[in-house]
Structure 1
Amino acid sequence: MNRASAGFRTTVTQISVGWAAPVTRSVPRVAACEDVAFESRRYPVGRNGGAVGGVGRDVAGGARTGRPEHRTPVFRRVVVATAVVCAAVTAGAALPQAAWADPAPPTKSLEEVHQEVEALYRKAESATDAYNAADEQSRLQEKNVGDLTKQVSAAQERVRELKDRVGELARTQYRTGGLAPSTRLFLARSPEEFLDALDTTRRGQDATRRLLTETESAKAELEKYVKAADERWKRLKDERKKKDEAKKEIEARLDAAKKLESRLEEKERERLRQIEEEKARQAQRTWLASDALKGVSLKDAGSATEIGRRAVAFATAQIGKDYVWGAVGPDTYDCSGLTSRAWATAGLGIPRTSQEQWRQLPKVDVRDMRPGDLIIYFSDASHVAMYVGDGMMVHAPRPGRQVTMAGAGSMPILGVVRPGA
């Protein structure tokens, strides 16, 4: 509320030397100041502190005496002090509203910052998966468009060749077969020559029909390739648009997260990391204590296949390398870039994104997982890690972090998939 509002009341203190206690009375601010102004006009203070000419009244507000009155020093101090108070309050009323602005809202706790940052990174990771999917589709469509372009060129060349052959055959028939059968019989030296010429003409006509049919088929095939190439090109443009949109979303989420973290002091950022790690450890403890792995021995490294061991060896060798969204190595990775590269290096190609890995690869029960299996996290399958045994996994966590080892249950598990099963 503005302190200059009309309803505000101030306390005027009559200050005097030697009083046992200040005497106060509460009056409307405006009225109090008017009283002081009135008193100042009626009894101006002279150079020596005395009142200068005027008609007096007693201090208690009694009847006027009709004669000039010299006020006591106490009274003069009261008037002067009250005038100072009123002047200060009135000056305060003239200050801009911003001078009395509400205090800034309380800063967020580190726990709140942690939750907000994690939410932003989760959304960025989902957008990264969308980007990776669009990127993969773009590459596929580019290859398809390239293949179709070659097929269109080959079909066009075939049509031109057939047209040339049809034209040549037509010219030959015109030169040799333009006569009526009766005329050819008359000009033939023998019946055999006539029959041979007739047979040749028929074969030429059959060849012409076949060439015409083949030409029409080649034209139809060419049109099919052109149409397919056009459709693929439209899909390619759509995928590129999706990539651009996903990229913008990723950058917006990451910028927001970085701004939040940049407002923290170094000690607070370190504490934020500790909160993150402690939450992960607590989630792992809860997972291990649950029935998810009841009756399962975590000492299962020996159950991995040879190709699975190679994939694990590659993934763990990347520990310490930075997370970069959209990266597939060799120096930086995102989560699915790490798992897809590890399995490709081991000798088996798998889908690029965590969502496609979840959708396409064979699923296994969590209790049956073995080193090399991929653990898919969150309900939207936006994060993936590789199980390495003993209840642990290796993964590329998020921007600002490095490839690391963590508890397999440190995040909500959607399910487990097994490449090559």
Structure 2
Amino acid sequence: MGRGRRSGLAVAVTVVCAVTVLGAPGTALASGRPDPDPAASAASPPSPASPASPASPASPGSSASPAPVLPPDKDLEAVRTKLDGLYHDAAVATDAYNAAEEQAQQQSAALVGLAQKVVQGQQRLDGLKDRIAAAAQAQYRTGGLPPQAQLMLSDDPQQFLDGAGRVLEGERAADGLLLDMTRTQQELKRDADDAADRWKKLEANRKAKAAAQQRVKDRIKEAEQLQATLEKRQLERLAELERQAARQAQTAWLGTGILKELRGRATTAGEKAVRYATDQIGKPYEWGAEGPKTYDCSGLTSQAWAAAGRPIPRTSQEQWKQLRHVAVADMRPGDLIIYFQDATHVAMYVGDGMIVHAPRPGRTVTLAGAGTMPILGVVRPDAD
């Protein structure tokens, strides 16, 4: 990473750490539609955490009504856990949607190629049939006698010898035409069967994509409805609980001394990928999106590495399966951190214990602590 870029990033990291907006653990999503952010919708940061209590009685003659009483923190913690579960389910469905979409695109392209082969094969078969028909007509014009019989009736020896050569050539040509037609028919049938099979798979993927899309929408709608039941002060308190959980998780991760081991430097391609990803900070999250205006988590990482000249799989699960695994202690800027046991979230490590990622619906691409979510492992898109 260039010195000027690294300095700017260090300033951003410092600011993020100062305000402790590290992103709540367990709320990351592999993709999703932007929804109102409880933290962003708060009018002002809440005061330090303390048990809610009824407001003081109003003074005599005052018409002011008592402030609403917040539910106990344990109730809001239950809400936060429920929201995390809903967004995680949406993440699983989103990865399924993205995978089905990618497969459908590949199969559509393959179908187009097969259709062209089928058309070309049919045209070739028609041409062979025309040539065979022409040969049959020529034989009919000679009286229907076999070429051998015509030669036996000839009085000219030289004509007989010349004709014998032509007969052999004709026989070979006829045999070649028949063999070519048989082979073309077989290839045409094979391509047609292959196209039919791919069409069935394409339809199955389209149905799987539609089902996954509906699951994403259902989970996000349920999360929205749950948040809609909370009052403004409750949303503020919920956002504070998320930040507290994030701080605790990041502090515990840093407490392992991991930063002392992280000394890897980004490659040239890694610097390009980091630059692309950090340039997207502030853009909204949208499930299934790959930019340039909105992103989901794997859309951001795949596009960042595509911009660096290294195309990688589209989904977080395929990135985990196909890319080279490295130890967390060996990761360097540009590497991808895969989160949760089912690999449903991915972020890019940018250095100094921080990541850039697209968290979930209602959030924007942001910097966060690398330890704010449970780490499954680290993968490296580029070579050493």
For the aligned pair, the TM-score class normalised by the smaller chain equals 0.7 to 0.9
Contact 1:324 1:332 (C-alpha < 8 Å) held by counterparts: yes
Equivalent in the alignment of 1:253 = 219
| 1:343 and 2:305 are equivalent in the alignment | yes
- Deviation at residue 223 of structure 1 after TM alignment: 0.4
| Amino acid paired to 2:236 | E
Q: How far apart, CA to CA, are the structure 2 residues paired with 1:178 and 1:207? A: 18
Q: How far apart, CA to CA, are the structure 2 residues paired with 1:180 and 1:258? A: 86
Dislocated runs of 4+, deviation >3 Å: 173-177, 179-183
Number of residue-to-residue matches in the alignment: 311
Equivalent in the alignment of 1:286 = 252
- Deviation at residue 271 of structure 1 after TM alignment: 2.0
Evaluate the alpha carbon distance shift between residue 180 and residue 136 of structure 1 in structure 2; reply closer, same or farther with a 3 A threshold. closer
Aligned counterpart in structure 1 of residue 153 of structure 2, from 186, 192, 197: 186
The superposition leaves residues 57-106 of structure 1 with CA deviations (integer Å, 9 ceiling, x where unpaired) of: xxxxxxxxxxxxxxxxxxxxxxxxxxxxxxxxxxxxxxxxxxxxxxxxx8
Aligned counterpart in structure 1 of residue 315 of structure 2, from 339, 350, 353: 353
Partner-residue secondary structure (3-state), 1:350: coil
Contact 2:287 2:295 (C-alpha < 8 Å) held by counterparts: yes
Contact 1:336 1:353 (C-alpha < 8 Å) held by counterparts: yes
Contact 1:316 1:394 (C-alpha < 8 Å) held by counterparts: yes
Equivalent in the alignment of 1:329 = 291
| Amino acid paired to 1:208 | A
**Aligned ranges for residues 95-114 of structure 1 at < 5 Å?**
109-114=75-80
Equivalent in the alignment of 1:210 = 176
Contact 1:170 1:208 (C-alpha < 8 Å) held by counterparts: no
Aligned counterpart in structure 2 of residue 242 of structure 1, from 201, 208, 211: 208
Q: How far apart, CA to CA, are the structure 1 residues paired with 2:284 and 2:139? A: 75
- Deviation at residue 279 of structure 1 after TM alignment: 1.0
Q: Which structure would you say has the larger RCO, counting Cα contacts within 8 Å and 6 or more residues apart?
A: 2
The superposition leaves residues 114-164 of structure 1 with CA deviations (integer Å, 9 ceiling, x where unpaired) of: 111111111111110011001111111111111111111111111111111
- Deviation at residue 185 of structure 1 after TM alignment: 3.5
Contact 1:169 1:204 (C-alpha < 8 Å) held by counterparts: no
Q: How far apart, CA to CA, are the structure 2 residues paired with 1:145 and 1:314? A: 34
- Deviation at residue 179 of structure 1 after TM alignment: 4.4
| 1:296 and 2:258 are equivalent in the alignment | no
Evaluate the alpha carbon distance shift between residue 416 and residue 184 of structure 1 in structure 2; reply closer, same or farther with a 3 A threshold. same
Equivalent in the alignment of 2:163 = 197
| Amino acid paired to 1:127 | A
- Deviation at residue 165 of structure 1 after TM alignment: 1.4
Aligned counterpart in structure 1 of residue 111 of structure 2, from 120, 123, 145: 145
Partner-residue secondary structure (3-state), 2:368: strand
Equivalent in the alignment of 2:347 = 385
Contact 2:147 2:167 (C-alpha < 8 Å) held by counterparts: no
Q: How far apart, CA to CA, are the structure 1 residues paired with 2:283 and 2:368? A: 15
Evaluate the alpha carbon distance shift between residue 322 and residue 182 of structure 1 in structure 2; reply closer, same or farther with a 3 A threshold. closer
| Amino acid paired to 2:204 | D
- Deviation at residue 384 of structure 1 after TM alignment: 0.2
Partner-residue secondary structure (3-state), 2:153: helix
Q: How far apart, CA to CA, are the structure 1 residues paired with 2:303 and 2:137? A: 62
Equivalent in the alignment of 1:277 = 243
RMSD (Å), alpha carbons: 1.7
Deviates more, 1:140-149 or 1:352-361: 140-149
The superposition leaves residues 348-371 of structure 1 with CA deviations (integer Å, 9 ceiling, x where unpaired) of: 111000000000111111111111
| Structure 1: tracts of 5 or more residues without a match | 1-105
Partner-residue secondary structure (3-state), 1:280: helix
Q: How far apart, CA to CA, are the structure 2 residues paired with 1:221 and 1:408? A: 54
Contact 1:340 1:350 (C-alpha < 8 Å) held by counterparts: yes
Equivalent in the alignment of 1:399 = 361
Deviates more, 1:410-419 or 1:281-290: 281-290
Contact 1:142 1:236 (C-alpha < 8 Å) held by counterparts: yes
- Deviation at residue 304 of structure 1 after TM alignment: 0.6
Q: Structure 1 vs Structure 2: percent identity of aligned residues?
A: 51
Contact 2:259 2:352 (C-alpha < 8 Å) held by counterparts: no
Evaluate the alpha carbon distance shift between residue 285 and residue 202 of structure 1 in structure 2; reply closer, same or farther with a 3 A threshold. same
| Amino acid paired to 2:102 | E
| Amino acid paired to 2:326 | V
- Deviation at residue 187 of structure 1 after TM alignment: 2.7
Contact 2:270 2:382 (C-alpha < 8 Å) held by counterparts: no
**Structure number with larger C-alpha Rg:** 1
| Structure 2: tracts of 5 or more residues without a match | 1-70
Contact 1:185 1:191 (C-alpha < 8 Å) held by counterparts: no
- Deviation at residue 170 of structure 1 after TM alignment: 2.7
TM-score, normalised to structure 1, is: 0.71
Partner-residue secondary structure (3-state), 1:166: helix
Evaluate the alpha carbon distance shift between residue 139 and residue 120 of structure 1 in structure 2; reply closer, same or farther with a 3 A threshold. same
Contact 1:173 1:204 (C-alpha < 8 Å) held by counterparts: no
Q: How far apart, CA to CA, are the structure 2 residues paired with 1:130 and 1:388? A: 27
